[in-house]
């Protein structure tokens, strides 16, 4: 038997036991009020000193807030609480730093994009409209994006899913390690490289023309590792006990995977696939190389150039006229909405399919 050492804090001269268990506490409303005061002071100092950048005002306010809480808390509550408050305010500041750009991006896109976004814009293509003229729409780009992303998902989702099942359920030894390694490498492939790869094989060597399908192949290359990774994580979360329970009932391994493992993790797997779709929807570079972009509606993804939403945004921005700027913002808004809807659907499915624990 080893000697058990008592690691609890022992009262001594340096660390006396508190006389009372009660302690002075700042009231609950202190941090928000302090934040308001700091914001006001930041603006005041900024105005008085004649700083023109509002970022500087914000920084002053943030520093005042952090220092203010720390000092006030140290005076009233003591050192340990002050450190706690310091950490809390740092976390809040970090959170705000992350949220401010996101909110401003959304605001900007909605404000500028809603100018020309209407039914006409969604249901018409650019046709022969000159770029500097107002009017036109993104119907051809929506069709292109849906077809290219759909085809890419049809290729990448089954391959990714099966790869992940192999890695988690069957993979042992060298082959599995090699697959894992290459999936990791693929995760890091820049989208332009995937585009160039398909360009050289499909268009330059095999001699096919640009098409939505060529773009889909590059998008599938980008999507596959994401699907493999997320599915792998989800399958690993399925407790081994469930697999053993099924095997012990005399169920073959493949049926165990199909009927027990996959249903248990289907919510997470769907979320992963949806997020992978959202990721490739915004890819521009491979589409630029392989689909080329078009001004008219092309419903056939296997022949001739097509348009896609991110490429449309890029091309309209390049035109540089007032009207094309408006169209670029509106298309960007549609793209963001599309990705957001995908995310919401993914969350909905995850919640709906999650294993149910309640229901007593």
Partner 1 sequence: MAKRIDVSGLSAYYGGHKAIDDISMTIEPRTVTAFIGPSGCGKSTFLRTLNRMHEVTPGGRVEGKVLLDDENLYGTGVDPVAVRRTVGMVFQRPNPFPTMSIFDNVAAGLRLNGSYKKSELKDIVEKSLKGANLWNEVKDRLNKPGSGLSGGQQQRLCIARAIAVEPQVLLMDEPCSALDPISTLAIEDLIGELKERFTIVIVTHNMQQAARVSDRTAFFNLAAVGQPGKLIEIDETERIFSNPSVQATEDYISGRFG
Q: Which residues bind partner 1 (CB under 8 A)?
A: 172, 239, 241-252, 255-256, 259-260, 263-264, 355-360
Cβ distance to partner 1 smaller for residue 21 or 248:
248
Helix/strand/coil (H/E/C) assignment for every residue in 35-102? HHHHHHHHHHHHHHHCCCCHHHHHHHHHHHHHHHHHHHHHHHCCHHHHHHHHHHHHHHHHHHHHHHHH
At residue 301, the 3 state secondary structure works out as coil
Residue pair 206/255 in contact (Cβ under 8 Å)? The answer is: no
Which residue's CB is nearer to partner 1, number 209 or number 252?
252
Q: Do 127 and 295 meet the contact criterion of CB atoms below 8 Å apart?
A: yes
| Residue 184 C-beta: closest distance to partner 1, Å | 22
Helix (H) and strand (E) counts in the chain: 14, 0
Q: Which is nearer to partner 1, 155 or 262 (CB)?
A: 262
Q: Taking a C-beta distance cutoff of 8 angstroms, is the pair 287, 238 a contact?
A: no
Alpha carbon separation from 71 to 30, 65, 66 (Å, rounded):
13, 10, 9
Tokens 């002075």 belong to which residue?
24
Token digits of residue 105:
């991006």
* Least distance (Å) between residue 171 CB and partner 1: 11
* Coil, strand or helix at 135: coil
Q: Least distance (Å) from partner 1 to the CB of residue 238?
A: 9
When the beta carbons of 169 and 304 are compared against partner 1, the nearer one is 169
Minimum CB separation of residue 228 from partner 1 in Å reads: 21
Q: How far is the CB of 267 from partner 1 (least distance, A)?
A: 10
User: Do residues 284 and 293 make contact, with C-beta atoms less than 8 angstroms apart?
Assistant: no
Please report how close the Cβ of residue 172 comes to partner 1 at its closest, in angstroms.
7
């Amino acid at each position: 038997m080893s000697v058990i050492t008592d690691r609890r804090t022992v009262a001594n001269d340096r660390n006396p036991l508190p006389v009372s268990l009660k302690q002075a506490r700042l009231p609950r409303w202190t941090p928000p009020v302090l934040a308001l005061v700091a914001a006001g002071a930041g603006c005041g100092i900024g105005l008085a000193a004649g700083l023109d950048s509002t970022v500087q005002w914000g920084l002053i306010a943030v520093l005042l807030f952090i220092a203010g809480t720390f000092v006030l808390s140290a005076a009233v509550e003591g050192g340990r609480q002050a450190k706690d408050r310091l950490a809390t305010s740092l976390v809040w500041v970090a959170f705000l730093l992350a949220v401010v750009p996101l909110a401003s991006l959304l605001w900007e896109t909605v404000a500028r994009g809603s100018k020309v976004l209407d039914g006409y814009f969604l249901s018409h293509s650019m046709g022969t409209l000159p770029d500097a003229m107002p009017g036109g729409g993104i119907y051809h780009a929506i069709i292109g994006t849906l077809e290219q992303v759909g085809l890419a998902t049809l290729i990448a989702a089954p391959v990714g899913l099966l790869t992940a099942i192999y890695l988690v359920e069957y993979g042992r030894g060298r082959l599995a390690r090699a697959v894992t390694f290459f999936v990791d490498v693929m995760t890091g492939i820049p989208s332009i490289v995937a585009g160039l790869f398909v360009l050289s094989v499909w268009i330059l060597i095999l001699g096919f023309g640009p098409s939505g399908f060529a773009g889909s192949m590059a998008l599938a290359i980008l999507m596959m590792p994401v699907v493999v990774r997320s599915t792998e994580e989800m399958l690993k979360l399925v407790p081994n006990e469930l697999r053993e329970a099924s095997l012990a009932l005399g169920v073959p391994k493949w049926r165990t995977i199909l009927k027990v493992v996959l249903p248990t993790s289907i919510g997470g797997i769907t979320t992963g696939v949806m997020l992978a779709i959202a990721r490739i929807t915004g890819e521009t570079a491979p589409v630029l190389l392989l689909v080329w972009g078009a001004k008219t509606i092309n419903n056939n993804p296997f022949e001739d150039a097509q348009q896609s939403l991110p490429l449309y945004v890029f091309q309209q921005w390049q035109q540089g006229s007032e009207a094309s700027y408006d169209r670029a913002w509106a298309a960007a808004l549609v793209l963001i909405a599309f990705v957001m809807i995908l995310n919401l659907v993914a969350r909905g499915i995850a919640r709906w399919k999650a294993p149910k624990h309640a229901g007593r």
